[in-house]
């Protein structure tokens, strides 16, 4: 008699309940290949043994992921305590209140010359108080009774509410039906939540960068450069539309910058369809993605991109078709995209996979943003070789680490930085460059 298999087969719902996560999370892990699964007809089944093996394997990489902001996790937002503007990045903080240290944006600090937050900008201080917005003041002075009457007139009739509720119920039933068949579906709420969290997490990862290169190979120290964060006009290419953020990082004056790098994130999706239909179950194919990427880079000749090196990281919802990733991964294909001044990486919201040409060394400086696990592994692999060279020679320059040890420059720089935190001496010598020494 055949021995009975001690592990049973689980449905996606049962696997999600075992892990204590949402059904969609397990579905994405199966589509991505992280959890092995078989299909019986149109239904996925997971071996309980494989599920436990996956859970055990995640503990080994948890420490590597701990310090990396997830694209599914919202980052905290700071606020300029003078004008009330939201500051998604610490790079947007131009100064701090001289009394309490509250953040102040560049417009208030550099243009309005404000040095104190609204709370401490009281009468008698050298700095004038926060200017009053007359339009907002008029809104506040509006009698609440009149506001309530005006709002009651704008309320939709009951019949419209009923129709909207019926449409939502119909869409929810259709979504459940599609997901039961294993189809990737994105709802309007999920897409907008992804958009907000992706933008904030991108900002957090940009803050982790120490240096960024331009198209000439010159490196810009992010903390010492002029950084401007702007929100470009929402893009619309064919059926795709979405918004994003841009970080303009420059050296020199804003009028005549010496070097310039534009780091940009975009959310690509059919938001018009998501808003009207409440869901989207059609993956982005190769043609649509190619059109979207070329649409994003057409404004390269306009300010501030005239002499800039651009890095674009685009999130695609509900996900990418099988051939869509080749647009950026296979630059030699017919639909492949290549530009010596523009780098493009794609984030698949359905599988949470990142697509970019792995062999292109120009992407190495941006790995902390798009592929932090590969970045950490590369740094860990290069560290023993650098330590061995330091032990035999006593010191090592950054150029020697690149030329003799074959370590990519961004990786070597990060290894030097980490070793300096352990007590080794790090100097920037004229004519030689960055040098690390074993002795203090």
Q: How far apart are CA 273 and CA 269, in angstroms?
A: 9
pLDDT confidence of residue 137: 38
pLDDT confidence of residue 242: 65
Q: Please state which of the ranges 146-160, 263-277, 301-315, 366-380 shows the lowest mean pLDDT.
A: 146-160
Q: Please state which of the ranges 106-115, 130-139, 370-379 shows the lowest mean pLDDT.
A: 130-139
pLDDT band at 132 (very low <50, low <70, confident <90, very high): very low
Q: How far apart are CA 352 and CA 26, in angstroms?
A: 12
pLDDT at 118 exceeding the cut of 50: yes
CA Rg value for the chain: 26
- Asked whether residue 401 is assigned to any structural domain, the reply reads yes
pLDDT confidence of residue 251: 77
Residue with the larger pLDDT of the pair 433 and 75:
433
Contact 435, 398 (CB under 8 A): yes
pLDDT at 415 exceeding the cut of 80: yes
Do 131 and 22 reside in the same domain of the chain? Answer: no
pLDDT at 134 exceeding the cut of 70: no
Q: How far apart are CA 252 and CA 24, in angstroms?
A: 48
Do 379 and 342 reside in the same domain of the chain? Answer: no
Q: How far apart are CA 216 and CA 251, in angstroms?
A: 14
Do 59 and 82 reside in the same domain of the chain? Answer: no
pLDDT confidence of residue 383: 92
- For residue 30, which phi and psi values (nearest 5 degrees)? -70, -45
pLDDT band at 159 (very low <50, low <70, confident <90, very high): low
- Asked whether residue 150 is assigned to any structural domain, the reply reads no
Contact 93, 103 (CB under 8 A): yes
The pTM assigned to this predicted structure is 0.66
Q: How far apart are CA 215 and CA 305, in angstroms?
A: 12
pLDDT at 418 exceeding the cut of 80: yes
pLDDT confidence of residue 146: 42
Do 359 and 397 reside in the same domain of the chain? Answer: no
Do 230 and 294 reside in the same domain of the chain? Answer: yes
pLDDT at 367 exceeding the cut of 80: yes
- Asked whether residue 24 is assigned to any structural domain, the reply reads yes
Residue with the larger pLDDT of the pair 90 and 280:
280
Q: How far apart are CA 253 and CA 225, in angstroms?
A: 10
> Ranked by mean pLDDT, which of 129-133, 332-336, 370-374 comes out on top?
370-374
- Asked whether residue 15 is assigned to any structural domain, the reply reads yes
Residue with the larger pLDDT of the pair 160 and 80:
80
Q: Checking DSSP bridges between strand 244-252 and strand 257-268, what pairing results, if any?
A: antiparallel
Q: Checking DSSP bridges between strand 425-429 and strand 240-242, what pairing results, if any?
A: unpaired
SS3 of residue 405 by DSSP: coil
Number of Cβ within a 10 Å radius of residue 95: 17
- Asked whether residue 327 is assigned to any structural domain, the reply reads yes
Residue with the larger pLDDT of the pair 382 and 301:
382
pLDDT confidence of residue 264: 85
pLDDT confidence of residue 384: 93
What average pLDDT score do residues 192-216 get? 81
pLDDT confidence of residue 35: 86
Q: What's the number of CA atoms in the CB half-sphere (13 Å) around residue 354? A: 21
Do 288 and 195 reside in the same domain of the chain? Answer: yes
- Asked whether residue 147 is assigned to any structural domain, the reply reads no
pLDDT tens across 17-60, in order? Answer: 888 777 777 877 887 777 888 888 778 888 888 888 887 766 54
Do 277 and 333 reside in the same domain of the chain? Answer: yes
Last residue of a domain, one of 320, 348, 370: 370
What is the CATH classification number for the domain harbouring 25?
Answer: 1.10.1660.10
pLDDT band at 1 (very low <50, low <70, confident <90, very high): very low
Last residue of a domain, one of 107, 141, 175: 141
- Asked whether residue 2 is assigned to any structural domain, the reply reads no
pLDDT at 123 exceeding the cut of 60: no
pLDDT confidence of residue 124: 41
Last residue of a domain, one of 370, 394, 409: 370
Do 118 and 187 reside in the same domain of the chain? Answer: no
Do 211 and 125 reside in the same domain of the chain? Answer: no
Do 251 and 378 reside in the same domain of the chain? Answer: no
pLDDT tens across 220-247, in order? Answer: 888 777 777 777 666 665 566 667 777 8
pLDDT band at 163 (very low <50, low <70, confident <90, very high): low
Do 135 and 194 reside in the same domain of the chain? Answer: no
Residue with the larger pLDDT of the pair 177 and 28:
177
What is the CATH classification number for the domain harbouring 418?
Answer: 1.10.10.10
Number of domains in the chain: 4
Do 293 and 342 reside in the same domain of the chain? Answer: yes
pLDDT confidence of residue 331: 73
pLDDT at 187 exceeding the cut of 80: yes
Query: What is the span of the domain harbouring residue 135?
Result: 78-141
pLDDT at 2 exceeding the cut of 60: no
Q: Please state which of the ranges 76-90, 126-140, 183-197 shows the lowest mean pLDDT.
A: 126-140
pLDDT at 184 exceeding the cut of 70: yes
Helix axes 12-19, 23-32, angle to 10 degrees: 110
- Asked whether residue 117 is assigned to any structural domain, the reply reads yes
pLDDT tens across 262-295, in order? Answer: 888 888 888 888 888 888 888 888 888 888 888 7
């Amino acid at each position: 008699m055949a021995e009975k298999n001690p592990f049973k087969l689980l449905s996606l719902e049962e696997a999600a309940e075992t892990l204590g996560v949402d059904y969609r999370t397990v579905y994405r892990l199966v589509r991505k290949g992280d959890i092995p699964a078989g299909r019986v007809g149109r239904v996925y089944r997971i071996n309980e043994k494989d599920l436990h093996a996956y859970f055990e394997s995640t503990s080994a990489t948890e420490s590597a992921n701990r310090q990396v902001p997830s694209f599914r996790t919202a980052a905290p937002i700071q606020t300029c305590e003078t004008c009330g503007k939201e500051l998604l990045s610490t790079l947007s903080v131009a100064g701090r209140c001289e009394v309490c240290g509250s953040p102040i944006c560049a417009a208030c600090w550099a243009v309005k010359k404000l040095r104190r937050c609204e709370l401490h900008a009281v009468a008698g201080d050298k700095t004038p108080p926060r200017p009053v917005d007359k339009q907002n003041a008029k809104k506040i002075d509006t009698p609440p009774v009149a506001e309530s009457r005006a709002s009651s007139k704008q309320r939709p009739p009951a019949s419209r509410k009923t129709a909207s509720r019926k449409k939502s119920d119909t869409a929810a039933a259709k979504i459940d039906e599609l997901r039961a068949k294993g189809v990737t579906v994105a709802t309007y709420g999920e897409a907008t939540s992804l958009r907000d969290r992706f933008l904030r997490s991108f900002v957090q990862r940009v803050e982790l960068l120490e240096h960024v290169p331009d198209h000439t190979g010159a490196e810009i120290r992010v903390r010492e450069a002029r950084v401007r964060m702007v929100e470009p006009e929402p893009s619309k290419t064919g059926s795709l539309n979405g918004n994003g953020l841009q970080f303009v990082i420059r050296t020199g004056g804003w009028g005549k910058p010496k070097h310039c790098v534009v780091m940009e994130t975009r959310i690509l999706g059919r938001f018009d369809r998501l808003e009207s239909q409440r869901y989207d179950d059609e993956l982005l194919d190769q043609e649509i993605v190619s059109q979207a990427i070329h649409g994003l880079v057409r404004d390269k000749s306009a300010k501030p991109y005239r002499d800039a090196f651009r890095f674009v990281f685009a999130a695609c919802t509900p996900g990418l078709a099988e051939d869509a990733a080749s647009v950026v991964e296979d630059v030699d294909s017919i639909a492949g995209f290549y530009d010596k001044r523009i780098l493009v990486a794609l984030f698949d919201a359905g599988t949470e996979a990142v697509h970019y040409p792995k062999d292109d060394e120009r992407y190495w400086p941006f790995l902390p943003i798009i592929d932090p696990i590969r970045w950490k592994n590369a740094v860990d692999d290069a560290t023993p070789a650098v330590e061995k060279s330091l032990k035999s020679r006593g010191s090592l320059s950054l150029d020697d680490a690149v030329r003799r040890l074959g370590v990519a420059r961004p990786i070597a720089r990060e290894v030097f930085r980490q070793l300096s935190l352990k007590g080794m001496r790090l100097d920037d010598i004229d004519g030689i460059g960055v040098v690390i020494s074993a002795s203090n």
